[in-house]
Amino acid sequence: MADFKRIVILTGAGISAESGIDTFRAAGGLWEQHRIEDVATPEGFARNPGLVLGFYDTRRAAMAAALPNPAHIALARLEREFPGELLLVTQNVDDLHERGGSARVLHMHGELQSALCASCEMRTRWEGEMLGRPACPVCQSRSLRPDIVWFGEMPYQMGRIYTALETCDLFVSIGTSGAVYPAAGFVQEARAAGAHTLELNLEPSEGSRLFHESRLGPASALVPAWVEDVLSCAGP
């Protein structure tokens, strides 16, 4: 493991799988239980808001009952101890990175614990249910939606992410299938910038061949071992 100075990490549903949170594309995963067009598009929400609000209420409750696993905790250790620059980007909408101890997490697909008002566009921290169409605490309109990036919508903070990818020397993708863009294209951005690229996954992802290096196994084992490697090589 070389002495890297600027690391970008991308995480996906696989890092939370061992905490008991369903992934999307596994057999029996969320996309076998629900149609994407119904629950993860703005058009689906317009057609049947109750279905979508109920879907995210259920997931918010599941998240609250879950605990961070050793992979989340190891990335928090890396944030505390790595002397270089680190950007942790997650596609996950759960808060397990934060509860694992990470203080700076970029949620590019939004957060379950945030409500976005379609009327005043303000965001409010949200822990309860939305199915009853509660009023926005800011403007009182009943136009709240989950603060989630659905298909066809622009993921958050893309400028900041691409800037970090352009200057990183190591890009690590953890527990994501590489099926959803723009996140699936980050490995190519990082390679174009000359970074080393590493995948940590239970099995090879769709874009596995794009990585310089692939380590296969459960995140709860792979991530702490990789963090140990990085910290043992990191100079001041």
| Binding piece for ligand BJW, criterion CB under 6 A, among 12-20, 99-107, 130-138, 163-171 | 12-20
Contact flags string 40-79 toward ligand BJW, x per CB under 6 A:
x---------------------------------------
User: What is the Cα–Cα distance from 147 to 117, expressed in whole angstroms?
Assistant: 9
Q: How far is the CB of 133 from ligand BJW (least distance, A)?
A: 19
Contact status: 182 vs ligand BJW (CB under 6 A): yes
Contact status: 117 vs ligand BJW (CB under 6 A): no
Choice from 1, 51, 106, 179 touching ligand BJW (CB under 6 A): 179
The residue (of 6 and 25) whose beta carbon lies closer to ligand BJW is 25
Choice from 199, 201, 226, 230 touching ligand BJW (CB under 6 A): 201
109 among known catalytic residues: yes
C-beta of residue 21 within 8 angstroms of C-beta of residue 68: no
Residues 6+ apart with CB under 8 A from 158: 108, 182
Residue that is written with structure tokens 């001041």 in the block: 236
The residue (of 68 and 236) whose beta carbon lies closer to ligand BJW is 68
Considering Cα of 20, then 23, then 27, then 28, what sign does the dihedral take?
positive
Contact status: 115 vs ligand BJW (CB under 6 A): no
Residue 13 tokens read as 């549903």
Q: Which of 8, 14, 6 lies closest to 179, judged by CA?
A: 14
Angle, helix 70-81 to helix 219-233, in steps of 10 degrees: 20
Instruction: Determine which one of 97, 109, 196, 212 is catalytic.
Output: 109
User: What is the Cα–Cα distance from 121 to 75, expressed in whole angstroms?
Assistant: 32
C-beta of residue 152 within 8 angstroms of C-beta of residue 41: yes
Contact status: 105 vs ligand BJW (CB under 6 A): no
What are the residues binding ligand BJW (CB under 6 A)?
12-14, 17-18, 23-26, 29, 40, 91, 93, 109, 148-155, 158, 175-177, 179-182, 201-203, 205, 218-219
Q: Catalytic residue numbers?
A: 109
